[in-house]
């Protein structure tokens, strides 16, 4: 059985979620529908987008809260009785984009474009033009941690699809953590919209409430909450602290809604879910496998991407299958495109560059860690980016 056939079997068995296989609404459909509500013109509205526009309705003030990592499975596990504010107002399930990871998904939420078009591939992204690997969100080189500006990286080399937010026909405000409010990536995905930073979650809630109360014309406010994602990475999804943090977030969402005095349509969703890893494997920096690669594996630890040297593809596939074939199927970039894993249609030139030659796809949240001799490897207790239901489904909450 070929690796492509293995992946198709995993889809059929329900081990992993096939992106858009049943035309399930996605987070791209969600931001597209929000854009329609906020007056963006010239958008082709799919049936999924039309239904979401109807559910959201037309409102003068829209607040969109992204709770990083709040997958539908995690939400249901934390509140099985459905008594929280978030679960009481949950209206449907959405699919994340794949890879289901922050850099990729936040870019889709900022551009209303699938990864097949915008081309961001994960936490690590190889820039063959400069022969360096970038960490996209902190905007640094992977190993030296120097700013990408030191290597002459232009924004248009990384960010090929513009933000959709400047097209919103209403006053737009971003509320996010203080340390990222003016970062290169934040300025990109928000299209340079005004940004306010906060430190504590309650402070972020207060900023949104105060901003909405001041508005005398239609507005759009975007609140980003990354705390749950960080806690799940550190502790795993079943640690007692995760439940405590969820209760705090839920109380803040209730307070936000009440504090806006009925003036807003509150939309809550997530960029991806979170799960605990099953199996960890490693690739050493001087490993035989790296002899076939142009750079260390990129993407994310449970969806590794490989840029292979010319003429070494056969040897690489053989070595990878021998080492990791029990856990991972290895798909060529053409097979990834054929399955439309990164979104509908053909891959853009940027996507082909950044996703490389091969992608590792697993039927469960297995990870492959690249071990650098001089840098500490972070072994997360909670992971995401794969195709499991816990990673790929997120809630849509309307209040």
214, 306: one domain: no
DSSP 318-334: HHHHHHHTTTEEEEEHH
235, 298: one domain: no
267, 327: one domain: no
pLDDT of residue 278: 85
How many domains would you assign to the chain?
Answer: 2
269, 288: one domain: no
Torsion of CA 119, 121, 127, 128, to 10 degrees: -80
Task: Tell whether 267 is covered by a domain.
Answer: yes
pLDDT of residue 218: 96
204, 62: one domain: yes
Token pair 């509140």 in the structure block, residue? 79
Task: Tell whether 320 is covered by a domain.
Answer: yes
Average pLDDT over residues 49-55: 95
Pick the more confident residue, 372 or 183. Answer: 183
235, 302: one domain: no
* 45-59, 189-203, 256-270, 283-297: range with lowest mean pLDDT: 283-297
Cα angle value 364/369/374 (rounded, 5°):
165
Average pLDDT over residues 355-381: 86
pLDDT of residue 23: 79
Task: Tell whether 283 is covered by a domain.
Answer: yes
* pLDDT bracket for residue 22 (50, 70, 90): low
Task: Tell whether 37 is covered by a domain.
Answer: yes
* pLDDT bracket for residue 21 (50, 70, 90): low
Average pLDDT over residues 311-335: 95
How does pLDDT run across 214-249, given as a tens digit for each residue?
999 999 999 999 999 999 999 999 999 999 999 999
248, 268: one domain: yes
Task: Tell whether 384 is covered by a domain.
Answer: no
160, 293: one domain: no
Task: Tell whether 378 is covered by a domain.
Answer: no
172, 73: one domain: yes
* pLDDT bracket for residue 11 (50, 70, 90): very high
Q: Is the torsion defined by CA of 328, 332, 334, 335 positive or negative?
A: negative
Task: Tell whether 376 is covered by a domain.
Answer: no
10, 143: one domain: no
For residues 394 and 269, is the Cβ–Cβ distance under 8 A? yes
Task: Tell whether 381 is covered by a domain.
Answer: no
For residues 94 and 24, is the Cβ–Cβ distance under 8 A? yes
Q: Which of 206, 195, 189, 201 is nearest to 173 (CA)?
A: 195
283, 152: one domain: no
- For residue 99, is the peptide bond before it cis, meaning its omega torsion is within 30 degrees of 0? yes
Q: What is the pTM of this model?
A: 0.95
78, 211: one domain: yes
Helix, strand, or coil here: 47?
helix
Decide if pLDDT at 44 tops 90: no
For residues 103 and 136, is the Cβ–Cβ distance under 8 A? yes
pLDDT of residue 370: 84
Average pLDDT over residues 317-338: 96
Cα angle value 65/123/120 (rounded, 5°):
80
pLDDT of residue 377: 67
The CATH number of the domain where 141 resides is what? 3.40.720.10
The CATH number of the domain where 344 resides is what? 3.30.1360
Range of the domain at 223: 27-275+389-398
* pLDDT bracket for residue 329 (50, 70, 90): very high
Average pLDDT, the chain: 94
Q: Copy the structure tokens of residue 352.
A: 């082909």
């Amino acid at each position: 059985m070929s690796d492509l056939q293995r992946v198709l079997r995993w889809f059929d068995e329900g081990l992993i979620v096939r992106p858009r296989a049943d035309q399930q609404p996605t987070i791209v459909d969600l931001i597209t529908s929000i854009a329609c509500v906020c007056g963006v013109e010239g958008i082709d509205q799919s049936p999924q987008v039309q239904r979401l526009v109807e559910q959201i309705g037309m409102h003068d003030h829209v607040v969109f809260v992204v709770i990083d990592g709040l997958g539908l499975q995690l939400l249901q596990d934390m509140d099985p009785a459905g008594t929280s504010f978030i679960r009481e107002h949950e209206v449907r399930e959405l699919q994340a984009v794949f890879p289901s990871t922050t850099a990729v998904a936040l870019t889709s939420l900022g551009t209303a474009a699938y990864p097949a078009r915008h081309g961001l591939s994960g936490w690590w992204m190889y820039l063959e033009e400069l022969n360096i690997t970038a960490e996209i969100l902190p905007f640094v080189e992977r190993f030296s941690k120097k700013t990408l500006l030191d290597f002459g990286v232009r924004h248009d080399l990384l960010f090929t699809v513009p933000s959709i937010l400047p097209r919103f026909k209403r006053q737009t405000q971003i509320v996010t953590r203080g340390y990222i409010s003016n970062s290169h990536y934040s300025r990109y995905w928000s299209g340079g919209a005004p940004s306010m930073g906060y430190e504590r979650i309650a402070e972020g809630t207060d900023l949104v409430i105060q901003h909405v109360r001041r508005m005398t014309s239609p507005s759009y406010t975007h609140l980003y909450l990354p705390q749950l994602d960080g806690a799940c990475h550190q502790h795993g999804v079943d640690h007692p602290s995760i439940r405590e943090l969820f209760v705090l977030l839920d109380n803040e969402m209730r307070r936000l809604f009440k504090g806006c005095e009925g003036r807003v349509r509150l939309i809550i969703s997530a960029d991806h879910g979170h799960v605990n890893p099953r199996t960890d494997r490693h690739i050493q920096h001087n490993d035989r496998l790296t002899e076939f690669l142009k750079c260390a594996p990129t993407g994310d630890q449970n969806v590794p991407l490989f840029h292979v040297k010319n003429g070494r593809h056969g040897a690489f596939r053989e070595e990878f299958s021998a080492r990791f074939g029990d856990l991972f199927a290895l798909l060529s970039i053409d097979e990834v495109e054929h399955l439309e894993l990164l979104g509908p249609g053909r891959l853009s030139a940027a996507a082909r560059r950044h996703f490389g030659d091969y992608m590792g796809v697993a039927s469960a949240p297995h990870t492959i860690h690249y071990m650098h001799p001089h840098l500490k490897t972070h072994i997360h207790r909670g992971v995401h980016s794969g195709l499991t239901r816990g990673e790929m489904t997120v809630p849509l909450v309307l209040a």
